[in-house]
Amino acid sequence: MIDSKRFTAQKCRIKDIVCGKYVSSDGIGSGYVLLEDGREVSSVHLLGTVVNSYVSDDGKYGFVVLDDGSGMIRVKVFQDTGVIRKVKKGDIVDVVGRLRQYNGEVHIFPEFVKMVDDPNYETLRKIEFAEMDFEQGAKRDVIRSLAKEHKDVSEMEESLSEKDIKGDDVRKVIAAEKVREEKDDERGAEVDMKVAKNLIVKSVEELDDGDGVEYTRIVEKVGLPEAISESAIDELLAEGSCYEPRAGRIKAL
């Protein structure tokens, strides 16, 4: 069954979209983003400041980059760029549009872009987010607690009905928890690679007698798994932080 809420424009922070997971769909329009709070969002209602804008000479393509203080996202238009033609850097705009993904980048295909002149509009949106965070957080906490006590959703039904929570909410929150874990693992891997690269550069500097350091000595020195050391060295060579004065030897710049 199609969730009508998914297709209703939902107010989000940009970071909610960026930190979520895009799910492709064969249904109407586009896919949707599973947010970390458990919401499935296809259409969004965003408020942000324009930090960049572009319209092609033939007027058939354009985009604006929005920043709401939590992150940035592009609003892309094709064929009819009139909706963003008057928008300029520094403008505050209210955007309603569908979420799309292209080449791994989630962007917004706008239905309308409205200029905002009233500063109270931003304050109101912050209050709305605070209320939303409270409600979604309370629901998520209940589901997490019940998930620890019960094996499946059917066992939770009586408790959920008392708290006005539907079984579908459980599915979404559990899926969102998996997304959060995946993102945490990705961030952890990025940190680990930074640590590995720093260790390797330091080791190369300590061991270098002027002609670089043999690859095997670096691996022994840092004490990391060879696969990690190899990946870290490849990245250092690619980014130019290190180079090979001759085959099998590494030197830091």
The Cα–Cα gap between 212 and 203 comes to 11
Provide φ and ψ at 90, rounded to 5°. 100, -15
Q: Answer yes or no: are the C-beta atoms of 161 and 169 closer than 8 Å.
A: no
Give the pLDDT confidence score for residue 1 in this predicted structure: 44
Q: How far is CA 60 from CA 52, 55, 85, 187, in A?
A: 18, 8, 11, 37
Predicted TM-score (pTM) of this structure: 0.56
The Cα–Cα gap between 50 and 68 comes to 9
Of residues 67, 87, 89, the one with CA closest to residue 77: 87
The CATH architecture one would assign to domain 4-117 is Beta Barrel (2.40)
Give the pLDDT confidence score for residue 9 in this predicted structure: 86
Neighbour count for residue 145 (Cβ, 10 Å)? 11
The Cα–Cα gap between 29 and 197 comes to 43
Of residues 95, 94, 96, the one with CA closest to residue 116: 94
- Show the tokens assigned to 50: 């324009």
Give the pLDDT confidence score for residue 121 in this predicted structure: 84
Q: Answer yes or no: are the C-beta atoms of 24 and 18 closer than 8 Å.
A: no
**Crossing angle for the helix pair 167-207 and 120-149, to the nearest 10 degrees:** 100
The Cα–Cα gap between 53 and 237 comes to 35
Give the pLDDT confidence score for residue 2 in this predicted structure: 47
In tens digits, the chain (253 residues) has pLDDT values of: 445 555 688 898 898 898 888 988 765 456 899 887 778 899 999 999 999 988 888 888 999 999 998 889 999 998 888 889 889 999 999 999 999 998 888 999 999 899 998 878 888 888 888 888 787 777 777 777 766 666 666 666 666 666 666 656 666 776 667 766 666 655 555 557 888 888 889 888 989 988 899 888 888 888 777 778 888 888 888 888 888 888 888 888 8
What CATH class has 189-252? mainly alpha
β-bridge mates for residue 61, sequence order: 78
The single residue listed with the structure tokens 């985009």 is 63
The Cα–Cα gap between 230 and 16 comes to 35
Give the pLDDT confidence score for residue 27 in this predicted structure: 53
List the chain domain ranges: 4-117, 189-252
Of residues 115, 44, 125, the one with CA closest to residue 83: 115
Residues in the chain: 253
- Hey, what's the torsion of the CAs at 171, 29, 103, 129, to 10 degrees? -50
